């Protein structure tokens, strides 16, 4: 039937006729973390279905790769996921090195890991901060962003940029660590620790926060695997898998760290609270890794000798990087010329976005916001 | 009070040949204007500024400090900016209702000040059903919010409006029941009457009158928070879910009105709590001068009320928002039974000890201070543990 | 299990469906018959010794010179920590492959993306719509012969117009 020009569905036969409302959330909406759109069928406050509509941030980065050279594509990879750009840099670097058989010097690998783990902490801080902001508390957001600002300062000192780093190069990194960097990073880690405790008191133990997150959109392990959920989202569902540990790359085999998984501390395994808790635990693991890196980092060059006009031999290669949003798969094809023939990146947010339609029925409108935030969806990463 | 003053003026011939009723009307309008322009608008405006500064302190920021000394005039600048902005009315909106809604909300808010006392003499009208009048007038706000939500022709605004209606109507019940517990003790609905039966010392306040009023105070506080759409119950305008709720489509001066009401309401919540439970304007009798006493009483009342305003800012900066089902659970499953028990308990208490029970009052006062002390101890503990440096000076 | 033994198991089971295997390159792969891909994937997922429970990546590549579009399936097993790469080659002008959405839910959006950007039709896909490009977009941008339209709904797409 039609009311005031709008088509509405009417459930009949239940005695109570209820109309489902079609809600359009986005592309501009305060909690869609970029430009996302959901078309929601809602029965009052309860969602019957939420269909994601992506593509608003599609910048054809894969197509661009075919027009710029191997070196020239590096700055573009920053834009794949601008919250955790180091991992995209690293992914492109690694897949090209695999194509062209380039060995990265040991110190270069350590520099990469240091930059990446700092970026992971920054990304997780942003993720938990915005999640709490979406749930309605304002102050913890500022606390987490204050710490993220310090990481931005550290990364700025390392590579001159605060968001789109373009730090890594094919065969290593662009610059060695600046003098006194170790003291600065370790000093920062020293004061991040009490901040995490404070955050824990303010947020993790907060009854209202737990009430909003526990049992909301619990994703069982099998479903998470079927949808190829990766990274913290997969681990929150109880699957102990981390590319850094299980398919080691770079210098991760030399480093000691745990892989935290969701335990269902506030409800069922794989709910929004578990995803939050896993991220907080991963921040601590990254701090552990950073401390080890500074102990073990050898001297030497940071970048291998790579020709200006890189022409990898014909063939294809695939690598996986554990980004802040999980396993990021890079697949590149070379046709022997100086331009990549094809580059494909499968990101964590893409999978996380596709699962929302399946888990949305029965959730409340306010829960959708929690789910988007707890899955840590970053719109540019979905659309590329 | 106002009437005697007007009578004396009429006797002096100040009004000349003007009939008595018109003179009364002029006097009422003048008093109303004085309260509205002298106090209500200013307290709403200043509260917005104070809230931003308090938040900034809590969130390790600076806050507005550019307009006027320490940014104290920021609220005037904001208000002027909003007044001068173009007002956009959506094409598909119901223009008449859309324009009407902010005024309904504002009327519901401003008229409540009629019965809110400032001191033993300063009150616009000491109505004999004062507290009932305040609760019913503040309920008018929900009508305005509903109109705003419906007339905007925006689904987010509509959800916000419906949420507001459901929430305010639900929480009205525990709030009213808790207010009745005090009325059982006093036997009067007049705000001045309620305050006059309390004393300046905490042991004479109704919060410490019996265990039931002690709990009733917290029930009232929670219910009034929900009625005022404040965090953690700010669902009608939950910005992360509903964009801006019922104000989504508003701009310019009409938007300003909604904000005026939102921040002015904080003071009303504080004033109701202070009137009912915390001794109102009662101050120690230190001077025989009527004017002096009245100034002291007004200061006491405003400071007590404003402490609650600051507390609500603190709560808003700290707590996340509840979900709509949790909101309703809190009201119907917990607050409502508790307030019923309180109501019956107070009735029994008043039957047994019509003049109050001194021992219980002293014990409860000690408990209250113990609670505050424990709270401060926890705050100090957390400050020590996080090693935070706090600057208490508001000017730094 | 390494790539060679997985390939030999596949050959034992689906002799005629495995067109060729390449084991001397960086990432060993098997080129399989497109028509049998769903059957193959179901076997790979359900077999105890293989149990490829996740489709980590699905990429399409347009080989214009060879005249075919290649869809690459990167499978991984969380249970056995091994992976296999399958390639399906279909002619450019009649690109049709059975969908593996019923095997792995992850394929839903990955196949939509390949359809959108490379114009490969996935038969039996429940919801084959464009995902990244607008719904009224003409052409498939990652095809090598794709020509960028001059304008889209009156919006000029050439860079020179911005410089003017």
Q: What is the mean pLDDT of residues B1-10?
A: 69
The residues that bridge with C73 in the sheet, in sequence order, are C58, C86
Q: Do A55 and C72 touch (CB under 8 A)?
A: no
Kindly tell me if the per-residue pLDDT of C159 is higher than 90: no
Burial (CB < 10 A; 0-12, 13-18, 19+), residue B104, is buried
C2 interfacial to chain A (CB closer than 8 Å): no
- CA distances A179 to A175, A176, B132, C17, C94, Å, are 11, 9, 71, 59, 59
- A327 contact residues in C (CB cutoff 8 A): 56
Kindly tell me if the per-residue pLDDT of A4 is higher than 50: no
The residues that bridge with A172 in the sheet, in sequence order, are A169, A303
Tell me what pLDDT residue B197 has.
Answer: 84
Q: How many domains does chain C have?
A: 1
Strand C29-32 relative to strand C18-22, pairing? antiparallel
Answer whether C touches B (≥3 Cβ pairs < 8 Å): no
Q: What is the mean pLDDT of residues B158-179?
A: 87
To the nearest whole Å, the CA of B97 is away from the closest chain A CA by 17
To the nearest whole Å, the CA of A189 is away from the closest chain C CA by 33
Of A258, A280, A244, A245, residue with least CA distance to A374: A280
The alpha-helical segments, DSSP class H, found in B187-247 are 191-196, 211-227, 239-242
Confidence tier at B395 by pLDDT (50, 70, 90):
low
Q: What is the mean pLDDT of residues B222-251?
A: 81
Q: Do A228 and C142 touch (CB under 8 A)?
A: no
Q: Residue C130: which domain range?
A: 3-163
B378 interfacial to chain A (CB closer than 8 Å): no
Confidence tier at B132 by pLDDT (50, 70, 90):
confident
Q: Do B241 and A365 touch (CB under 8 A)?
A: yes
User: What does the pLDDT look like over A340-359, one tens digit per residue?
Assistant: 888 888 888 888 888 888 88
Kindly tell me if the per-residue pLDDT of A123 is higher than 70: yes
Strand A9-10 relative to strand A46-53, pairing? unpaired
For all residues of chain C together, what is the average pLDDT? Answer: 83
Tell me what pLDDT residue B370 has.
Answer: 92
Burial (CB < 10 A; 0-12, 13-18, 19+), residue A345, is buried
Tell me what pLDDT residue A61 has.
Answer: 87
Q: What is the mean pLDDT of residues B135-139?
A: 84
Tell me what pLDDT residue B261 has.
Answer: 85
Output phi, psi for C58, to 5 deg: -140, 115
- CA distances B246 to B159, B235, C90, Å, are 8, 10, 54
- The Cα A149–Cα A155 span in angstroms is 10
- The Cα B258–Cα B145 span in angstroms is 9
As given in the structure block, the two tokens for residue C150 are 């001059």
Q: What is the mean pLDDT of residues B205-232?
A: 86
Facing C57 at nearest CB: one of A55, A346, A354:
A346
User: Which DSSP category does C91 fall into?
Assistant: E
Q: What is the mean pLDDT of residues C18-36?
A: 81
Of B385, B240, B389, residue with least CA distance to A129: B240
Tell me what pLDDT residue A3 has.
Answer: 46
C161 contacts: CB under 8 Å, gap ≥ 6: none
C108 interfacial to chain A (CB closer than 8 Å): yes
Instruction: Identify the CATH number of the domain in which residue C116 sits.
Output: 3.30.460.80
Tell me what pLDDT residue A384 has.
Answer: 81
Confidence tier at B373 by pLDDT (50, 70, 90):
very high
Kindly tell me if the per-residue pLDDT of B351 is higher than 70: yes
Q: Say if CB B320 and CB A131 are below 8 A apart.
A: no
- In percent, the amount of chain A with pLDDT more than 90 equals 2
Facing A331 at nearest CB: one of C25, C59, C105:
C59
Confidence tier at A17 by pLDDT (50, 70, 90):
low
Q: What is the mean pLDDT of residues B229-253?
A: 80
In three-state secondary structure terms, A364 is strand
- The Cα A302–Cα A300 span in angstroms is 7
- CA distances B368 to B214, B272, B273, Å, are 9, 19, 16
Q: Say if CB B232 and CB B331 are below 8 A apart.
A: no
Tell me what pLDDT residue B266 has.
Answer: 87
Q: Which of B320, B325, B333 to mutate to test the interface with A (most CBs of A within 10 A)?
A: B320
User: Which DSSP category does B278 fall into?
Assistant: S
Q: What is the mean pLDDT of residues B60-85?
A: 83
Tell me what pLDDT residue C150 has.
Answer: 79
Of C122, C45, C116, C113, residue with least CA distance to C88: C122
Kindly tell me if the per-residue pLDDT of B11 is higher than 80: no
Confidence tier at A360 by pLDDT (50, 70, 90):
confident
Quick check: bond before A203 cis, omega within 30?
Answer: no
> pTM of the predicted model, to two decimals?
0.86
Q: What is the mean pLDDT of residues A264-292?
A: 87
Output phi, psi for A303, to 5 deg: -140, 140
Q: Do C72 and A331 touch (CB under 8 A)?
A: yes
CA atoms within 13 A on the CB side of B219: 31
- In percent, the amount of chain B with pLDDT more than 90 equals 3
- The Cα B278–Cα B216 span in angstroms is 12
Kindly tell me if the per-residue pLDDT of B142 is higher than 70: yes
Confidence tier at B282 by pLDDT (50, 70, 90):
confident
- The Cα B371–Cα A372 span in angstroms is 39
Kindly tell me if the per-residue pLDDT of A7 is higher than 60: no
What are the extents of the domains in chain B?
Answer: 1-79, 85-356
Q: Which of C73, C106, C144, C148 to mutate to test the interface with A (most CBs of A within 10 A)?
A: C106
Q: Say if CB B75 and CB B48 are below 8 A apart.
A: yes
Kindly tell me if the per-residue pLDDT of B362 is higher than 90: no
- The Cα B284–Cα B56 span in angstroms is 36
Q: What is the mean pLDDT of residues A64-70?
A: 86
Residue of A nearest to B162 (CA): A44
Kindly tell me if the per-residue pLDDT of B51 is higher than 80: yes
The residues that bridge with C22 in the sheet, in sequence order, are C29
Q: Do C133 and A351 touch (CB under 8 A)?
A: no
User: Which DSSP category does A228 fall into?
Assistant: T
**B positions 141-160 inside 8 Å of A (CB):** 155-156, 159
Q: Say if CB A352 and CB A375 are below 8 A apart.
A: yes
Confidence tier at A1 by pLDDT (50, 70, 90):
very low
In three-state secondary structure terms, B337 is helix
- B323 contact residues in A (CB cutoff 8 A): 211-212, 364, 366-367
Domains of chain A: 2-53 (no CATH), 61-383 (1.10.645.10)
Tell me what pLDDT residue B386 has.
Answer: 66
Tell me what pLDDT residue A133 has.
Answer: 86
- A192 contact residues in B (CB cutoff 8 A): none
Please tell me which of A116-120, B38-42, C51-55 the model is most confident about, judged by mean pLDDT: A116-120
Q: Say if CB B205 and CB B290 are below 8 A apart.
A: no
For all residues of chain B together, what is the average pLDDT? Answer: 83
Which one has a higher pLDDT value, C159 or A135? Answer: A135
Which one has a higher pLDDT value, B85 or C161? Answer: B85
Tell me what pLDDT residue A10 has.
Answer: 52
Confidence tier at B374 by pLDDT (50, 70, 90):
very high
Rounded to 10°, the helix B74-84/B41-58 angle is 120
Q: What is the mean pLDDT of residues A266-273?
A: 84
- The Cα A66–Cα A62 span in angstroms is 7
């Amino acid at each position: 039937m039609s009311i005031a020009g709008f088509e509405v569905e009417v459930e009949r036969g239940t005695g109570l006729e209820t109309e489902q409302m079609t809600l359009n959330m986005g592309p501009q909406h305060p909690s869609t973390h970029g430009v996302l759109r959901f078309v929601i069928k809602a029965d009052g406050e309860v969602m019957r279905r939420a269909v994601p509509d992506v593509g608003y941030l599609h910048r054809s980065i894969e197509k661009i790769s075919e027009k710029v050279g191997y070196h020239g594509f590096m700055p573009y990879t920053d834009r794949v996921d601008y919250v955790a750009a180091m991992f995209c840099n690293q992914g492109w670097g690694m897949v090209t090195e695999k194509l062209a058989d380039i060995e990265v010097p040991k110190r270069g690998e350590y520099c990469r890991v240091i930059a990446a783990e700092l970026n992971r902490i920054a990304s997780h801080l942003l993720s938990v901060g915005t999640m709490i902001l979406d749930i309605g508390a304002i102050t913890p957001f500022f606390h987490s962003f204050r710490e993220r600002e310090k990481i931005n300062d550290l990364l700025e000192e390392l590579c001159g940029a605060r968001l789109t780093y373009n730090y890594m190069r094919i065969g290593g990194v662009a610059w060695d660590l600046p003098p006194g960097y170790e003291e600065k990073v370790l000093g920062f880690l020293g004061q991040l620790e009490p901040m995490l405790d404070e955050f824990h008191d303010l947020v993790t133990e907060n009854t209202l926060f737990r009430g909003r997150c526990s049992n909301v959109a619990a994703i069982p392990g099998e479903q998470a695997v079927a949808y190829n959920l990766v990274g913290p989202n997969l681990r929150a569902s109880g699957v102990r898998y981390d590319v850094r540990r299980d398919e080691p790359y770079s210098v991760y085999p030399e480093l000691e760290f745990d892989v935290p998984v969701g335990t269902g501390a506030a409800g069922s395994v794989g709910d929004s609270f578990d995803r939050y808790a896993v991220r907080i635990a991963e921040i601590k693991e990254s701090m552990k890794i950073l401390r080890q890196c500074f102990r073990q980092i050898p001297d030497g060059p940071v970048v291998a000798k790579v020709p200006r006009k890189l022409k990898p031999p014909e063939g294809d290669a695939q690598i996986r990087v554990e980004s802040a949003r999980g396993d990021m798969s890079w697949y590149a094809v070379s046709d022997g010329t100086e331009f990549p023939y094809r580059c494909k990146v499968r990101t964590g947010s893409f999978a996380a976005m596709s699962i929302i339609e399946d888990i949305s029925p029965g959730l409340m409108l306010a829960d959708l916001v929690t789910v988007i935030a707890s899955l840590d969806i970053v719109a540019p990463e979905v659309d590329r | 009070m106002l009437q005697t003053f007007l009578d004396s003026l009429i006797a002096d011939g100040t009004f000349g040949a003007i009939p008595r009723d018109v003179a009364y009307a002029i006097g009422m309008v003048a008093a109303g204007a004085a309260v509205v322009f002298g106090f209500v608008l200013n307290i709403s405006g200043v509260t917005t500024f104070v809230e931003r500064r308090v938040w900034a302190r809590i969130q390790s920021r600076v806050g507005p400090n550019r307009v006027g000394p320490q940014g104290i005039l920021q609220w005037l600048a904001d208000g002027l900016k909003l007044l001068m902005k173009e007002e956009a009315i959506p094409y598909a909106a119901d223009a008449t209702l859309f324009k009407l809604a902010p005024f309904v909300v504002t009327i519901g808010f401003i008229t409540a000040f009629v019965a809110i006392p400032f001191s033993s003499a300063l009150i616009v009208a000491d109505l004999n059903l004062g507290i009932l009048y305040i609760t019913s007038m503040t309920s008018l706000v929900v009508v305005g919010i509903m109109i705003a939500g419906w007339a905007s022709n925006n689904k987010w605004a509509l959800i916000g409006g419906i949420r507001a209606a459901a929430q305010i109507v639900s929480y009205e019940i525990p709030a009213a029941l808790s207010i009745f517990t005090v009325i059982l003790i006093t036997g009067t609905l007049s705000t001045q009457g309620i305050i006059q039966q309390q004393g300046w010392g905490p042991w004479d306040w109704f919060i410490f009158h019996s265990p039931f009023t002690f709990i009733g105070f917290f029930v009232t506080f929670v219910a009034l928070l929900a009625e005022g759409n404040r965090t953690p119950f700010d669902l009608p305008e939950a910005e992360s879910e509903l964009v801006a709720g019922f104000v989504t489509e508003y701009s310019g001066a009409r938007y300003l009105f909604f904000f005026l009401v939102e921040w002015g309401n904080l003071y009303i919540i504080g004033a109701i709590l202070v009137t009912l439970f915390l001794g109102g304007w009662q101050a120690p009798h230190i001077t025989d001068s009527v004017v002096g006493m009245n100034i002291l009483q007004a200061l006491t009342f405003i400071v007590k009320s404003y402490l609650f305003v600051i507390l609500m800012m603190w709560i808003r900066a700290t707590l996340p928002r509840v979900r709509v089902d949790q909101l309703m659970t809190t009201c119907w499953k917990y607050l409502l039974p508790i307030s019923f028990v309180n109501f019956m308990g107070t009735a029994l208490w008043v039957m047994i000890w019509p003049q109050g029970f001194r021992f219980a009052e002293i014990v409860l006062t000690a408990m209250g201070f113990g609670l505050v002390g424990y709270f401060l101890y926890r705050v100090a503990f957390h400050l020590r543990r996080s090693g935070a440096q706090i600057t208490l000076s508001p000017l730094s | 299990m390494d790539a060679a033994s997985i390939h030999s198991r596949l050959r034992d089971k689906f002799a005629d469906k495995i067109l060729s295997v390449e084991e001397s390159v960086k990432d060993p792969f098997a080129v399989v018959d497109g028509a049998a891909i769903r059957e193959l994937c179901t076997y790979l997922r359900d077999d105890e010794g293989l149990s490829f429970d996740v489709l980590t990546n699905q990429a399409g590549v347009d080989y214009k010179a060879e005249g075919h579009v290649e869809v690459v399936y990167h499978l991984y097993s969380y249970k056995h920590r091994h992976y296999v790469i399958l390639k399906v080659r279909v002619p450019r002008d009649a690109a049709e492959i059975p969908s593996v959405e019923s095997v792995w839910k992850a394929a839903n959006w990955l196949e939509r993306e390949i359809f959108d950007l490379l114009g490969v039709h996935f038969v039996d896909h429940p919801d084959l719509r464009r995902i990244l490009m607008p719904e009224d977009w003409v052409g498939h941008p990652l095809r090598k012969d794709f020509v960028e339209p001059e304008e889209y709904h009156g919006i000029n797409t050439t860079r020179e117009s911005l410089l003017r």
